[in-house]
Structure 1
């Protein structure tokens, strides 16, 4: 519609111009009207043909190509599609939408580049710290030529601890890489989540005593809840979350585990009564090497990848994990697991006893 109006305006302008020129020389109204009619029709036809051939058809092709590229279809299909009656307007809409999408992609790429730089900086620092410590202890022992055996033993023990830290770091990085690439499969089995939590309590009991932490798993959760998940990996999730609660909880604090029935899922929550986490840090808490308190985190130890591994394991199960925290009160980490669907027996069906 806009194109036809534009052609009419141009044809009218040409016709009026030619008519005025003819009238200037002939001074004849009849010739003026004939000239105007002929020039208008001729101009309209010429303009319509030229614009249709060299502009309109090109715009239609551009629109078809953009449309097919967005849909991810073969470009050869573009030539055989029926397009709308106003491709110029369609091109405008498509280009604006394309520009918005590209801006979003650019923003995502910038965020990824920022994350990549931070990750490289963090990982180089994590490796550099224990390596320099090991090198320092070995140089000190070498310079002393083992004259002070007590000092040598002490330095070797410290070097050994830094080697262990490097080992944990490499192991955790390898695990995250395999989880992200799908090389570490999820082996689904059916098990009682209650029993697993009690087993993990026994496993981490010495760590809890070391940090003077009390663990609580209430008796009301004794009724068995069957879930479908990778038992070993969920064990790792629980150990990591409990270990974090001991490390960052308060002295003589309490860590409790709770279960909530969510129809076809079960929500597992690990709660401590520590110092809590500032709200601004919560969105980044599951990032690799992210630390809210760098000095205390490095003093406590660990690879800084525990929560990142936890998140990857839960997401690999196609479940969710979240955290809520209040400064001075404590933190709660919760994740969901798929419950085993209970089969409803038909009337008269015999019940199997275990």
Structure 2
């Protein structure tokens, strides 16, 4: 390792000066009180003494500090921090202190990050277990009931098989969403970019969800009539999924007889923003920052009764970010919510 000695010279200089002054004082006393000495000899000896003392003290200090500092570097190297380990050894205490403090801060940040990830992993596994357990137990319950004798009754058999099928459909839905979000998070998903009419995509979503909204008497509507197409650039299928997930979310948490309104506005020269607004129950502030986490639910019991995988908003966030766009949320509890995302215009 390369040596990098800096500020120990100051220590050596002062120490050599003290030694030289001491012996110079002795010679002066000897000159005046015992026997006169030639001044050239005195100052020549003082200079040689100073130089010898300086070099000796500097060497000894460097050796003394280097041995101990090297042990610090060796101990730190055991922690496999390559950025610290590969640096040249310095015996400059100020520099060393800064390096060790930076190393300690980096390690503290790394440990805190690992703790957050561990907590996130534990919560994720618990959520996956819960989400899969509910439909699994539902299917198992109906099948066991049929095997215990209910199969002989045709009406019960059909009803229970239909309910078991719904449980299987929800399992498939959850697994598909898990597969998609895994691909999105690892970047292992292809975006098929094309020019498409965003108004048409939103209308398709309205048509698909019309019956779902009708069950709660919720009106799906545009904020105004869009007579002309609005052309955007993106993956049509995935953007349709984004709109679908956001509209489904607004229906799920919307109030009876409410509305879900979609508006499209020019943002800047080459961008538009799509706003999906509802007058539902709204979201409390403490939940907003976590809405896009996997399986995070504001109302844990109520949301599960509505079904879904708990991954809808997480998928939305990853798809939008995959397009290098932004998604925003504004909500007032008891008043309603607005989700919005940007898209690039197409000529």
Query: What do the CA deviations read for 1:118-167 (whole angstroms, capped 9, x no partner)?
Result: 00111011111221222222222222263444333332222211111111
**1:271, 1:331 within 8 Å by CA — same for their partners in 2?**
yes
**1:194, 1:222 within 8 Å by CA — same for their partners in 2?**
no
The residue number in structure 1 matching 2:233 is: 228
Query: What do the CA deviations read for 1:244-290 (whole angstroms, capped 9, x no partner)?
Result: 11111000110000112111211101111001111100011011111
Query: What do the CA deviations read for 1:171-220 (whole angstroms, capped 9, x no partner)?
Result: 11011111222222011101121222222222222222222110121335
- Number of matched residues? 326
Task: Give how far 1:48 is off.
Answer: 1.9
**Cα distance 1:29–1:223, how it changes in 2: closer, same or farther (>3 A)?**
farther
**Cα distance 1:257–1:29, how it changes in 2: closer, same or farther (>3 A)?**
farther
Q: RMSD over aligned Cα, in angstroms?
A: 3.6
Q: Distance in 2 between matches of 1:57 and 1:221?
A: 77
**1:249, 1:272 within 8 Å by CA — same for their partners in 2?**
yes
The residue number in structure 2 matching 1:192 is: 197
**Cα distance 1:172–1:43, how it changes in 2: closer, same or farther (>3 A)?**
same
Q: Distance in 2 between matches of 1:59 and 1:311?
A: 49
Matched, 1:130 2:135: yes
Matched, 1:161 2:141: no
Matched, 1:293 2:299: yes
**2:150, 2:157 within 8 Å by CA — same for their partners in 1?**
no
Matched, 1:318 2:324: yes
**Cα distance 1:248–1:92, how it changes in 2: closer, same or farther (>3 A)?**
same
SS at match of 1:183: coil
Task: Give how far 1:109 is off.
Answer: 1.8
Matches within 5 A, 1:24-103: 39-52=49-62, 55=65, 70=83, 88-103=93-108
Task: Give how far 1:49 is off.
Answer: 2.9
- TM-score under structure 2 normalisation? 0.81
The residue number in structure 1 matching 2:273 is: 267
Matched, 1:336 2:346: no
Q: Distance in 2 between matches of 1:153 and 1:220?
A: 46
**1:320, 1:335 within 8 Å by CA — same for their partners in 2?**
yes
Q: Distance in 1 between matches of 2:260 and 2:294?
A: 24
Q: Distance in 2 between matches of 1:202 and 1:138?
A: 35
**Cα distance 1:195–1:147, how it changes in 2: closer, same or farther (>3 A)?**
closer
- TM-score under structure 1 normalisation? 0.80
The residue number in structure 2 matching 1:201 is: 206
Task: Give how far 1:308 is off.
Answer: 0.8
Q: Distance in 2 between matches of 1:145 and 1:339?
A: 59
Give the stretch that moved more between structures: 330-339 or 14-23.
14-23
Q: Distance in 1 between matches of 2:305 and 2:314?
A: 20
Q: Distance in 1 between matches of 2:65 and 2:280?
A: 70
5+ residue gaps, structure 2, are 1-5
**1:190, 1:229 within 8 Å by CA — same for their partners in 2?**
yes
**Cα distance 1:71–1:98, how it changes in 2: closer, same or farther (>3 A)?**
closer
The residue number in structure 1 matching 2:118 is: 113
Q: Distance in 2 between matches of 1:88 and 1:29?
A: 46
Residue 180 (structure 1) aligned to one of 175, 179, 185: 185
